[in-house]
């Protein structure tokens, strides 16, 4: 068994590997490393591995295990025979890294001034701090291709808007608590919007369909002063 996680049922056809119950950079890295290991092994019954901040769902194709009496029990047994020790010892797989150009403030980031006021900083300082950190895609969720990025400078954290916006523009970069994220498509949303990117986060007809994979590294580049569309 692994020192990294405990195993819980998640309904009839999934198990949940629990690494912790808080948002923590090291725990989240372990989640993604274990997800990569399971994806590499790709047993026939494995439908999907779904990372979250501190948990990892293992989705099981029960139809591929129709000859097994206790499918989830069998998956638990299989997990117990995998070797996660290297991950626990800090050997982590390589991940993708991305630079995303963002135009901050103005119409692109209508909440930049509010975030600055909340932080007791100037808008320029907020942009500088937001664009100088390295972020990890803690998970993709809420909407298709929506990245929850962890690693933001705590000084620019701010709760969600009391009243969500009815329409947030696609590509909007927002802050919610200690996290930052990007809206893949236009729609309602409550994050504090500080900027916008032209990068296409999700396109079901493209391969790969998402710009970012869970576990990838992201940096924002301040493109506020350059003209024209950019990504």
Which residues of the shown chain bind another protein in the complex (CB under 8 A)? 8-14, 16, 21-23, 35, 47-57, 59, 61-63, 66, 70-72, 139-146, 148, 185, 202, 204-205, 209-210, 213-214
Nearer residue to another protein within complex by CB, 55 or 197: 55
- Name the residue nearer to another protein (CB basis): 47 or 157: 47
CB of residue 214 to another protein, shortest distance in Å? 6
To another protein, the closest distance from the beta carbon of 68 in angstroms equals 10
Residue with tokens 């990294």: 4
Q: How far is the CB of 82 from another protein (least distance, A)?
A: 18
- CA gap 69, 90 in Å, rounded: 36
Nearer to another protein, 38 or 194 (CB): 38
Nearer to another protein, 23 or 88 (CB): 23
What dihedral do alpha carbons 214, 219, 225, 229 form, nearest 10°? -30
Nearer to another protein among residue 139 and residue 152 (C-beta): 139
CB of 48: closest distance to another protein in angstroms?
A: 5
**CA-to-CA distance for 105 and 229, rounded, in angstroms?**
15
Q: Least distance from C-beta 106 to another protein, angstroms?
A: 27
Long-range contacts of 157-166 (CB under 8 A, 24+ apart): 158/114, 158/115, 158/118, 158/119, 158/192, 160/190, 160/191, 160/192, 161/111, 161/190, 161/191, 161/192, 163/190, 164/188, 164/189, 164/190, 165/189, 165/190, 165/193
Question: Considering beta carbons, is residue 112 or 152 the nearer one to another protein?
Answer: 152
How many CA atoms lie less than 13 Å away from 129 in the CB half-sphere? 21
Q: Among candidates 150, 207, 144, 182, which has minimal Cα distance to 31?
A: 150
* Nearer CB in complex with another protein: 127/218: 218
Name the minimum Å distance from CB 39 to another protein. Answer: 9
| SS3 (DSSP) at 198 | coil
Shortest Å, Cβ 226 to another protein: 30
Alpha-carbon Rg for the chain, nearest whole angstrom, is 19
């Amino acid at each position: 068994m692994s020192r990294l996680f405990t195993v819980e049922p998640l309904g009839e056809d999934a198990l949940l590997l629990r690494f912790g119950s808080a948002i923590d950079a090291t725990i989240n890295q372990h989640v993604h490393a274990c997800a990569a290991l399971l994806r590499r092994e790709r047993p026939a019954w494995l439908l999907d591995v779904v990372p979250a901040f501190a948990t990892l769902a293992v989705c099981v194709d029960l139809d591929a295990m129709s000859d097994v009496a206790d499918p989830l029990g069998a998956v638990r047994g299989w997990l117990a025979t995998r070797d996660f020790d290297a991950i626990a010892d800090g050997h982590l797989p390589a991940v993708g890294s991305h630079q995303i150009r963002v135009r901050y403030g103005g119409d692109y980031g209508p909440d930049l001034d509010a975030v600055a006021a909340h932080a007791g900083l100037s808008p320029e300082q907020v942009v500088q701090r937001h664009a100088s950190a390295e972020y990890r895609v803690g998970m993709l969720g809420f909407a298709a291709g929506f990245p929850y990025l962890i690693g933001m400078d705590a000084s620019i954290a701010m709760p969600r808007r009391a009243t969500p916006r009815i329409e947030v523009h696609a590509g909007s970069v927002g802050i919610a608590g200690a996290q930052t994220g990007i809206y893949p498509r236009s729609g309602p949303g409550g994050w504090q919007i500080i900027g916008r990117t032209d990068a296409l986060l999700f396109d079901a007809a493209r391969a790969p369909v998402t710009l970012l994979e869970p576990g990838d590294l992201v940096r924002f580049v301040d493109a506020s002063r350059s003209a024209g569309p950019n990504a």
